[in-house]
Amino acid sequence: MKIIVYAICKNESKFVNRWMDSMTEADAVVVLDTGSSDDTVEKLRRRGATVEQAEILPWRFDTARNRSLALVPDDADICVCTDLDEVFHPGWRAALEAAWTPGTQQARYRYTWSFRPDGSEGVVFWYEKIHSRHGWQWTHPVHEVLQRTDGLRQIRTVTAAGVQLDHHPDDTKSRGQYLPLLELSVKEAPEDDRNVHYLGREYFFYGRWDDCIATLQRHLAMPTATWADERSASMRYIAKSYVRKGDILSARRYFLRAIAEAPHLREGYMDLATVLYEQEDWPGVLYFTACALEITARPDTYICEAAAWGPLPHDLRAIAFHRLGQIPLALQEAEAALALAPSDPRLQGNAALLRRAAEAAPQQ
């Protein structure tokens, strides 16, 4: 099969060699550069990529993606869309070819969107930016998605279990363009519930609590907003906005709604446990963290957040047990938290403190 990697970029010189190293398993790499002022284009060409330069005005991610897709030869069998801050693990081509059966139109693969400070995985979900050559277009100015140009709804998708893509972003880059593009997305497609959810979430990131609440309440009222995980996330962002506004009762009400909407997700339990921690409601912390820890299967969607699957549940439990005077249980939880983040100095200190307290307890 002929496999082509395609991408868009701008001023990403520092990523070129790492990215090209991980893309060498493809038959070719094509890139649309949207206005680099550094040596990104020259470095890509030296590494063998085919690069076309074009300024996209007004800027839209979907327009840029479609222009880059147009660079892929018509006889390609598989198109692999990545960004220059992403890296495939070696062997990705063989795993993809093994999964790609005749008639396949799209492939799912494992994607690590973020990493914790100690290098362990943070947010992990399954992505679908690998697809057949024809019948596709990117839509939406930001948070763009692939859609069929023929309106086909039943898409033959395979899971490429051995394909792993890691995201190592440049955190110095601004995401200031996201909010106006999301507002444009909702204006262009007001009935698209996904866009409304993303816009409300972006208002939260900007500290616009009332806009967040109003937008996500609209999302929850949309008849097409039926995915429980995303509905629960909207409720959680509403609740967090109420926390910032000082309305704890409304916040708790929405956290409980979020839990009821998606009881299979840890995030709602942990968000409420965190608020109860701040209120020093130690029995409440223990109850909701216990509920979270009963969930042992990590979901494969982007809704899954790193904190809920790291040391935080055990960390909060250790503090709660300590405040309740239950030192052995506090030590047990502190050790469990440390096992998930062994290089964290605060967790190291907590465990050491509780070990000393446990050793001294029989002498008291």
In whole angstroms, what is the distance from residue 337 CA to residue 343 CA?
11
Q: What percent of the chain has pLDDT over 90?
A: 90
- State how far the Cα of 70 lies from the Cα of 65, in Å rounded to an integer: 9
* 93 pLDDT higher than 60: yes
Say if residues 120 and 108 touch (Cβ distance below 8 Å): no
| For residues 90-104, average pLDDT | 97
Which pLDDT belongs to residue 254? 98
Instruction: Give, as one character, the DSSP assignment of residue 115.
Output: B
Does residue 364 have a pLDDT over 60?
Answer: no
pLDDT over 80 at 115, yes or no: yes
Predicted confidence (pLDDT) at residue 362 exceeds the cutoff of 70 = no
* Alpha helices in 70-162, H assignment, sequence order: 92-99
- Return d(Cα 316, Cα 309) in angstroms, integer: 13
- The answer to pTM > 0.85 is yes
Query: What gap in Å lies between CA 358 and CA 101, rounded to an integer?
Result: 59
Q: What's the pLDDT band for 130 if we cut at 50, 70, 90?
A: very high
2 contact partners, CB below 8 Å, separation of at least 6: 27, 73, 75, 76, 77, 78
**Mean of the per-residue pLDDT values for the chain?**
96
